[in-house]
Chain A
Amino acid sequence: MQHNVFILIGFIEIALSIFMQWQNYVSNNIKTFSIQSWILGIFLMYFGVLNNNISIIILSILTILTRAIFIPRYLINTINKQIFRARENKHKVSVSLSILISVLLAIFSYILYTLVFFEFGKSLISIPITLMLQGAFLIMSRSNAYAQLIGYLVMENSMFLLSFLFNGLPFIVEAGIILDILGIVMIGGILMKIRDEDIQKEEELYG
């Protein structure tokens, strides 16, 4: 049962990250990320209740509070002050091509997994790997700094998803990751606020 729920959650997350590639507006990307985190948090909650594990339930509440509510709201607030950042002006990769590439990444990670790591166990692990590659591709294919930040957060979500398949990381590590994420987003927001005066400079953020 948990197995099927994991597949359902994983593929909904993959479909949402494909949807992110489709969107030009950064606010839509942020909302999609919020939905992704809500789904992940609810899945964590379900997992914790099922296994009667109090630390996972606390972790799910923390996830929903930070990733699904606080970070999207903070990012949307900072964007509202800088309207010119709200939209991807020019695409480095055209939209339909980037959708196709992110689907191909899914197939690639499945094939890679079956070829290389198959002895380690379940083919389910290819789902978080897919999500991670898609987050990385979101960073590479966008020049807007907010979209790149969302890409990092998607990668981090994938790590969270991956940690389920092994017997669970210690609670302190997971909570630490959430703190890290908060820090990254705050620093990112402040950095982008300082560099407010020039639109071109946002391109310095990708290396």
Chain B
Amino acid sequence: MLFYLSIAQLLYVIILSPLAIGILNFFNERLSSRGGPSIFQEYYNLFKYFKKQSIYPESSSIFFAYVPYMSFAMYLFLTLVLPIITAFPLTFGPVVDFVGGGLVFGAASTLIKLSALDSRNNYSILGASRSSSIGIFTEPVILLIFIMLGVISGTNNPYVINNIMQTSTSWYYSLVHLFIALAFLFVLIIEIGQLPIESNSLNELGSIDTLLIHEYSGRELALLKWGSYIKQFILMNVFLNVYTWPFFVPMKLSLISIFFYMFINFFKIIILLIIFAFINSMVSKYRLFKIFDYIAIAFSFTLLAMLVFYITTSGG
């Protein structure tokens, strides 16, 4: 039973992740008073890329051709182990905890950066250096967030953290949780490439993550794009199901509740996308070196969470 649910979760993420990004693009365009593309536009794009011919740079090695498949497989693996439609572990759930999941995320992005270096394209290398220099500072923040969640729950398992957040109102309304959720929101915006950090719109080409896949074409480009949609979808799910809005996620094996939760989950995602669209229409892009101030703010929130934990638990 759990095995079939895992497959359902996999299909849910694979099928709906382009739709979520399409909806985000649609909201962005509507908020700037343009007609906007269809919300199914990303499916058309992926279909188009799959039909096209793949071209590799002459100077690249065989590694360049394999990276899209490997990174796509890693993102698929992550969909199997995180709480997306259920709050109890599915077949592959016990394989990794939060830190392990973070490592797989890191491995996939490292592979993509290496392939960008391998393509010998100046723009790709620029993107690789930018995204790795930002990644150096965001990873410790993410690790500190996991440590603080570990302090709250006594474990690093996302399912256990979800159950604790669902059931314990004292932790849910605590200041520790508030600061951690805020810090994760800051990091989430960096990871999924939304506006104060990166904008890839009709007006400008995104200059961090978008540049990494500059040299790909055809099926490989489609897989990389689809992989990045899956990554964004998973991260938004982690943010909602574990950090901020852990309610309604089914904690017991019941097919009807899981079926209904699939719709509720997508509804939550749409609300988050509306918030992102509003942020995108309100703020302007930071200069490259201003991003580090932004990361410093996220880091200071996690440190404050740690301080609150000590002050509130030391008997006040």
User: A22-B297, A96-B293 known; A11 and B175 CB under 8 Å?
Assistant: yes
Smallest CB–CB gap between A165 and chain B, Å?
11
* B296-A11 in contact (CB<8A): no
A103–B305 CA distance with the chains assembled, in angstroms: 11
- The count of chain B contact residues (Cβ–Cβ below 8 Å) is 21
| Contact indicator per residue, chain B 91-115, by CB within 8 Å of chain A (1) or not (0) | 0000000000000000000000000
Smallest CB–CB gap between A48 and chain B, Å?
22
Smallest CB–CB gap between A99 and chain B, Å?
4
Q: Is B316 part of the binding interface, using a Cβ–Cβ cutoff of 8 Å?
A: yes
8 Å CB interface, B169-219 against A: 175, 179
Q: Is B295 part of the binding interface, using a Cβ–Cβ cutoff of 8 Å?
A: yes
Please give, as numbers and ranges, the residues of chain A lying within 8 Å of B179 by CB-CB distance: 11, 15
Question: Could you jot down 28 A-B contacts, CB within 8 Å?
Answer: A3-B316, A7-B175, A7-B308, A7-B316, A8-B175, A11-B175, A11-B304, A14-B304, A15-B179, A15-B304, A18-B297, A22-B293, A99-B293, A99-B297, A99-B300, A103-B303, A103-B304, A106-B303, A106-B304, A107-B303, A110-B307, A122-B316, A123-B311, A123-B314, A123-B315, A123-B316, A124-B311, A124-B316
Q: Is A157 part of the binding interface, using a Cβ–Cβ cutoff of 8 Å?
A: no
A126–B316 CA distance with the chains assembled, in angstroms: 10
8 Å CB interface, B268-316 against A: 290, 292-293, 295-297, 299-301, 303-304, 307-308, 310-312, 314-316
8 Å CB interface, B43-63 against A: none
Count class of interface residues, chain A = 20 to 34
12 further contact pairs, Cβ within 8 A, besides A8-B175, A103-B300, A122-B316? A7-B311, A11-B179, A11-B308, A15-B304, A99-B300, A100-B299, A102-B300, A106-B303, A106-B307, A123-B315, A123-B316, A127-B311
* A95-B304 in contact (CB<8A): no
Chain B interface, >50% SS class: helix
Find the residue from B292, B297, B308, B314 having the highest chain A CB count within 10 A. Answer: B297
Smallest CB–CB gap between A138 and chain B, Å?
15
Q: Which residues of B contact A (CB under 8 A)?
A: 175, 179, 290, 292-293, 295-297, 299-301, 303-304, 307-308, 310-312, 314-316
Q: Which residues of A contact B (CB under 8 A)?
A: 3, 7-8, 11, 14-15, 18-19, 22, 95-96, 99-100, 102-103, 106-107, 110, 114, 122-124, 126-127
Please give, as numbers and ranges, the residues of chain A lying within 8 Å of B311 by CB-CB distance: 7, 110, 123-124, 126-127
* Shortest Cβ distance from B302 into A: residue: A103
A3–B315 CA distance with the chains assembled, in angstroms: 11
A114–B316 CA distance with the chains assembled, in angstroms: 11
* Shortest Cβ distance from A126 into B: residue: B311
A95–B304 CA distance with the chains assembled, in angstroms: 18
* Shortest Cβ distance from B182 into A: residue: A15
Smallest CB–CB gap between A178 and chain B, Å?
29
* Shortest Cβ distance from B306 into A: residue: A107
Please give, as numbers and ranges, the residues of chain B lying within 8 Å of A102 by CB-CB distance: 300
* Shortest Cβ distance from A14 into B: residue: B304
Please give, as numbers and ranges, the residues of chain B lying within 8 Å of A122 by CB-CB distance: 316
User: A96-B295, A99-B297 known; A107 and B307 CB under 8 Å?
Assistant: yes
* B296-A100 in contact (CB<8A): yes
Please give, as numbers and ranges, the residues of chain A lying within 8 Å of B301 by CB-CB distance: 15
A127–B310 CA distance with the chains assembled, in angstroms: 12
Please give, as numbers and ranges, the residues of chain B lying within 8 Å of A22 by CB-CB distance: 293, 297
Smallest CB–CB gap between B141 and chain A, Å?
12
Please give, as numbers and ranges, the residues of chain A lying within 8 Å of B314 by CB-CB distance: 114, 123
